[in-house]
Each structure stands twice: as C-alpha cells, then as structure tokens.
C-alpha cells in the first residue's frame, strides 16, 4: 500500500489567444500547484477498482483515474490490479482541476509501482490524451502551458505565497465559458486589468464571459481586492473558485466575507506549492 498526494492548481495567468478550427481554443497559461491536495492510496488487489466517499465522484471507467490506468495498460501491454482509494479535499467543479490531478497522480503512481520506467515527457504526452490539465500535473511544479494546455514548460518561480481559495455553491461549465469568450463584454466597475506580481502579470481572459453570466463572482473578486489583507485576486481557470493572494491573518476577513456576501461559501487557506 502506498499513498500519493494529488495537488490542486490555480491559473496565475490565463490568456485565450484564438479559437481553433476544431472548436477548441489556443491558450497560454501559468499554472501553479497548491498545498491543497487529494490523496490516492494504491493497494494491490484482484482487478482495478476505485473507492471514494465524496458525493458525485464516479467509480467506473468514466473516472479520469480509471481512464489513466486504462491508457497506461494500452501503452505498456500490462494489466494493473489495484484498489485505488481517493480521499477528496479538492471540491468538484471549482476550476482547481482535482480530477485532472488525480489522473496524473495515477500515471505517476503506476509508473513507479510497476517500475515502467516511462519519462515525465512520455507520461505528460499520455496525460494530454485524457484532459488538457493532466500533463501539467506530471511535472509537479509551476509550468507555462500552451496550445490547448498540452504543451508544458516547467518554470521556476521564487516566491512563498499564502493563498485564499473561495468557492460559491455553484460550478461553471468550462466549455460554455470558452464558447462565450469571443462575444462577451466587460461589466462596468469591475477590474479585469492585469495585476503585477513577482512572477509577472496576473490576468484571466475567461473572467469576462464568466462574470457576465455569474455576476456574483465579479462581486466576490471586487470585494476581495478592496481588502488590505489581499495583494491580488482573480478567478482560477473558468471558475467558480476565486483566489486571493493574502498577507497576515485572514480570519476576520473570512468571517466578514461570509456575513456580507454568502454564508455558504467554501473557503480554504493554503499556499502556492512551488
């Protein structure tokens, strides 16, 4: 039995460059892993099975962990017999890529446990067949991702940063956010401008279409930016999580945020994990 950490991520920048002929979009994004993590436990068993108590997580071949194992079996001609227990801390539909991270962790784990000897580059190539963010998680560090997200360049960022994750009860469908990108408009009074950080500009082109449909997220970002505890705030990916780069004690701010905005907000203090 062996336990593997499976981190969440945030997009520290996300530029949508153009719509491709196949309907997908070319992007350039800087992504960073977080201290917030799921855990995957691998135990030898008869056949391949999944266990998870988190509501709504499929336990069949539609789960990205299962897809990752099946793809690796096809790649190597091997059969993997494990019971995989998924302990979830990353919320679903949050723009934090918990499912993609779990898939990448499965590839990393099976490569090690089965002594397959596949390089990170090969694992990332396989991961990109499962989902756009999977390749990023193979490298377990901050990366610039291009193309549809599958072209991954590891980078070093020298910073130690606390981060507050804030998610409302609703989720955002990523395909719908991208589909609305070209025709969307900005909301008056909401800041979409790039924020200057030690690693460069922090900006998210998907805020425009998502905020237009989900006005609460624009209100949440604006409220966070007004606080002295916050050095910067932005939506991660296509949402619905908005994150804030924080300094000092945020407990009072969190209490007030829930009182003023929404008592049902999911809030997690963590850190950028470089």
With tokens 């009182």, the residue in question is 259
Domains and CATH numbers, the chain: 2-154 (3.30.230.10), 162-271 (3.30.70.890)
Q: Which of 9, 67, 221, 268 is catalytic?
A: 9
pLDDT for residue 20: 81
Question: Residue 157: which pLDDT band, with cuts at 50, 70 and 90?
Answer: confident
Name the β-bridge partners of 179: none
> Integer distance in angstroms from the first to the last C-alpha of the chain?
27
pLDDT at 221: 98
Identify the CA nearest to 179 among candidates 150, 149, 203, 206: 206
Q: Does the pLDDT value for residue 22 go beyond 80?
A: no
Report the pLDDT value the prediction gives residue 158, as an integer from 0 to 100. Answer: 72
Q: Reply yes or no on whether the pLDDT at 196 is more than 80.
A: yes
Annotated catalytic, 88?
no
* Length of the chain measured in residues: 274
Q: What is the pLDDT of residue 212?
A: 97
Please confirm, yes or no, whether 38 is among the known catalytic residues: no
Select from 172, 244, 161, 169 the least CA-distant residue to 207.
172
146 alpha-carbon distance from chain centroid: 15
Q: Which residue in 133, 205, 221, 268 is the catalytic one?
A: 133
* Residue 260, token pair as written in the block: 């003023």
Q: How far is CA 91 from the centre of its chain?
A: 10
Looking at per-residue confidence, does 226 or 149 come out higher? 226
Kindly indicate the confidence band of residue 107, based on its pLDDT and cuts at 50, 70 and 90. very high
Could you tell me the pLDDT band of residue 274, with boundaries at 50, 70 and 90?
A: low
Tell me how far CA of residue 170 lies from CA of 34, 184, 240, 269, in angstroms: 22, 20, 7, 20
Residue 133 and residue 127: Cα distance in Å, rounded?
Answer: 8
């Amino acid at each position: 039995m062996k336990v593997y950490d499976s981190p969440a991520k945030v997009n520290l920048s996300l530029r949508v460059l153009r719509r491709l002929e196949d309907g997908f979009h070319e992007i350039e994004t800087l992504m960073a892993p977080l201290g917030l993590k799921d855990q995957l436990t691998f135990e030898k068993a008869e056949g391949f099975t999944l266990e998870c108590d988190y509501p709504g997580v499929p336990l069949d071949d539609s789960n990205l962990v299962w897809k990752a194992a099946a793809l690796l079996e096809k790649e190597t001609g091997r059969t993997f017999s494990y019971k995989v227990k998924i302990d979830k801390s990353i919320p679903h539909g949050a723009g934090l890529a918990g499912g993609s991270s779990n898939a990448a962790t499965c590839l990393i784990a099976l490569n090690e446990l089965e002594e397959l000897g596949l390089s990170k580059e090969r694992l990332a190539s396989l991961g990109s067949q499962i989902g756009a963010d999977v390749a990023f998680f193979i490298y377990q560090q901050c990366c610039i991702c291009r193309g549809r997200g599958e072209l991954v360049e590891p980078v070093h960022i020298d910073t130690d940063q606390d981060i507050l994750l804030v998610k409302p009860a609703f989720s955002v469908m990523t395909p719908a956010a991208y589909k609305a990108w070209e025709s969307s408009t900005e909301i008056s009074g909401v800041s979409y401008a790039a924020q200057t950080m030690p690693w460069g500009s922090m900006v998210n082109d998907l805020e425009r279409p998502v905020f237009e449909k989900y006005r609460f997220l624009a209100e949440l970002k604006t409220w966070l930016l007004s606080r002295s505890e916050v050095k910067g705030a932005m939506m991660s990916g296509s949402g619905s999580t908005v994150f804030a780069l924080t300094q000092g004690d945020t407990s009072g701010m969190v209490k007030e945020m829930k009182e003023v905005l929404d008592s049902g907000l999911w809030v997690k203090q963590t850190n950028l994990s470089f």
